[in-house]
Amino acid sequence: MSTLPTAGPGPYPADAPASADLFDRARAVIPGGVNSPVRAFQAVGGTPRFMASGQGPYLFDADGRRYVDLVCSWGPLLHGHAHPEVVAAVQAAAARGTSFGAPTAAEVELADEIVARTPVQRVRLVSSGTEATMTAVRLARAATGRAKLVKFAGCYHGHVDALLAAAGSGVATLGLPGSPGVTSAAAGQTIVLPYNDPAAVQAAFAAEGDQIAAVITEAAAGNMGVIAPRDGFNAALARIAHAHGALLIVDEVLTGFRVSSAGWHGLEPVDADLWTFGKVMGGGLPAAAFGGRADLLDQLAPTGPVYQAGTLAGNPLACAAGLATLRLADADAYRRLDDAAATVSKLTTEALSAAGVPHRLSTAGNLFSVFFTGSDVSDYATAQTQHTAAYAAFFHAMLARGVYLPPSAYEAWFVSTALDDTAVAQVAAATPAAARAAAAAGAGS
């Protein structure tokens, strides 16, 4: 990127009256005023910003304020907001009809694209990442005739009952140990182990290997903050699982098609059995998928006995957005994403260092997060050593200067190909004051 100017907007007022009014109205009709918990700003305090529109690297809220977007709808918006080719594809699809409840050519084209980019031989489209992981687990249990699962503390795989045990992301943000309504029978089938600890996996299989259907892991953890797998960890999971007749499910809902054209597999090939995808493959519309070897996927109905269905699966609008997004995701796009992530993370860490704020930059490809701790972070327990009040102060100082970060210390930061020099300059202008705010919140003490 070229030399960055230092200009940026002055701090916005702390109040956001239009958003506050909408939040009051929402709380009267929507539990907590939001339809996904992290959006409520409980982890950082203050009024959640209700967004009115997006364009390129920017979001615009109900009060008319503009923000550089480093959330990107939690990952799907690889090319920023309202990319002309994505918009045109969705408009054309909508003009033909929004849903048919019957197969379409777009479903085949999107499935072809996923199979061409990844190790999967077959893929089934669904509407959410939760559906993808839920059905991958069901398929693994059917294929092995076993019930138990191994997952890792802090890894989030959607709000499936068995997978909410020691989940990260929104559960960590809200300080909940799990969720009421998840039965002991469901949770009891899940063995929760520390992330990046192959010895713990080996021990679990030594004790209960003949009962374990699968290990499920995020390809790189992104829901307790970003934590990459240590060298050889994912390979060890495949080796241990296969030695005991179990399967490995790699969750690429977050990393898939974001960190490379083949997702995390493009950076670190692993001998997994099933993969899940989402976010980028829908281009901002609800779409997800799971896939794997043909012999496993052919156990799904209608060719096999494992049932799964979805009225809106393969929705033509979502397929159109996903196809347009993936077709724009060429080698140059990934170079731009990597460069943008490196620039933003460097600006952030330099400002925090200058302000004397202990922190750790943690990366996984072009995904990253900043942990406000002086300790190394390798798993959920060490992620929880961070100074969340300092993050909240940093978040609000950035928000006041027109930069929208994840409203939780336990989330990944996302960049887009639309993040140009002007937007990066605004981030550069905001970070010094935000770092000083974090220091004032006690992060340096």
Q: What is the pLDDT of residues 59-72, one digit of tens each?
A: 999 999 999 999 99
Q: At 171, is the pLDDT very low, low, confident or very high (cuts 50, 70, 90)?
A: very low
Distance of CA 372 to the CA centre of its chain: 20
C-alpha radius of gyration, the chain, whole number: 21
- Specify whether the CB–CB gap between 264 and 271 falls below 8 A: no
Distance, in Å, from the CA atom of 258 to the CA atom of 367, rounded to the nearest integer, reads: 8
Average pLDDT of span 412-441: 97
Under 8 Å between Cβ of 213 and 247: yes
- DSSP β-bridge partners for residue 193: 152
Strand partners, 51: 61
Out of 251, 391, 404, 410, the active site residue is: 251
- The predicted model gives 368-387 an average pLDDT of 95
Res 187: pLDDT: 75
Second-level CATH architecture of 84-328: 3-Layer(aba) Sandwich (3.40)
Distance between CA atoms of residues 164 and 361, nearest Å: 27
Catalytic (active site) residue 156: yes
Residue 280: per-residue pLDDT? 98
Q: Which of 33, 59, 47, 18 shows the shortest CA–CA distance to 284? A: 59
DSSP 237-291: HHHHHHHTT-EEEEEETTTTTTSSTTGGGGTS----SEEEE-GGGGTTSS-EEEE
Residue 413 has pLDDT above 90, yes or no: yes
Please tell me which residue in 61, 148, 279, 404 is annotated as part of the active site. Answer: 279
Taking each helix axis from N to C end, the angle separating 316-328 and 105-117, rounded to the nearest 10 degrees, works out to 40
The pLDDT tens digits of the residues spanning 205-255 come to 999 999 999 999 999 999 999 999 999 999 999 999 999 999 999 999 999
Whether 68 and 402 have beta carbons less than 8 Å apart is answered as yes
pLDDT value at position 169?
45
267, 260 Cβ separation under 8 angstroms: yes
Residue range 17-69+331-443 in CATH 3.90.1150.10:
yes
pTM for the model:
0.93
**Per-residue pLDDT tens for 288-327?**
999 999 999 999 999 999 999 999 999 999 999 999 999 9
Helix or strand holding residue 164 (H, E): none
Could you state, in order of their start, the residue ranges of all structural domains in the chain? Answer: 17-69+331-443, 84-328
CA 137, CA 246: separation in Å to the nearest integer? 12
Predicted confidence at residue 445, as pLDDT, reads: 53
- Among 67, 156, 391, 404, the active-site one is 156
- Whether 380 sits among the annotated catalytic residues: the reply is no
